[in-house]
Amino acid sequence: MITYQQLFDFGEDFKSFVSRGMSAEIAAVRQIQEKLAEPGIITPQSLQRLADVKGRFHLLVAGEMWCPDCQINVSVMDFVHRFQPNIELAIITKGRAENELKQRLELDRISIPFALVLDDEFQPVGRFIERPLKVIGGGDALKPDYRAGKYLDSTLQDFLDIFEATR
C-alpha cells in the first residue's frame, strides 16, 4: 500500500489539473477565480483566520475537471494554497482515490471533490467532501446560489475549522 505522502507526491498541481479540462470547464474555473478575487467574497475574518493558520498541511484532493463541484471547491483550495504558503495542494483522479483511499478510509464511495487534509507528517486530520457543510445542510434550496459562487467563503471556513482543530 502506498503512503499518503507518496500519493501526494504523485498528484498534480492546480494549473495542470485545470489544463486537462474542456474549454467550458476551464472557463467555469476562471469565473470562480475571478469571484475569489472580488473584495468581500472571502470575508476579512476568514482571510485573517487563514493568515493565522499554524503548522503545515497538505491537501490531497481527488477531483475531475468535468465535475462542477470540483470546479468550484478545488478553485477555493487553490486559493487557500496560494494565500497560505504552509498549505500545499496535490490533486489525484477519482479513479486513483477509489483504488488507494476508499478501502483505507472505509468509505462507501468517493464523492468529488474529496480532500483529505494531512498534517506535516502526512497523517489525516480531516476531510472535505463535495460541498461545504452549510450548503449540504441547506439542501436543494441553496444549490443555485452555491453554483453561482456565493458560498466560496463557506468552503474556506470548513477548511479553517479543520486546520484550527489540530492546534
C-alpha cell at 113: 471533490
Which positions ≥6 away from 156 have C-beta within 8 Å?
42, 46, 50, 76, 79, 80
Query: What pLDDT was estimated at residue 142?
Result: 93
| Predicted model pTM | 0.96
Residue entry with cell 471533490? 113
| Predicted local confidence at residue 111, as pLDDT | 97
The CATH architecture that domain 4-165 belongs to is 3-Layer(aba) Sandwich (3.40)
Model pLDDT, residue 1: 81
Splitting the chain (167 residues) into consecutive groups of 10 residues, what average pLDDT does each group show?
A: 96 98 98 97 98 98 98 99 98 96 95 98 98 94 94 98 93
CB 42 within 8 Å of CB 36: yes
Residue 22 is predicted with a pLDDT of 98
Q: What is the pLDDT of residue 146?
A: 96
What number of other Cβ atoms are within 10 A of residue 39's Cβ?
Answer: 6
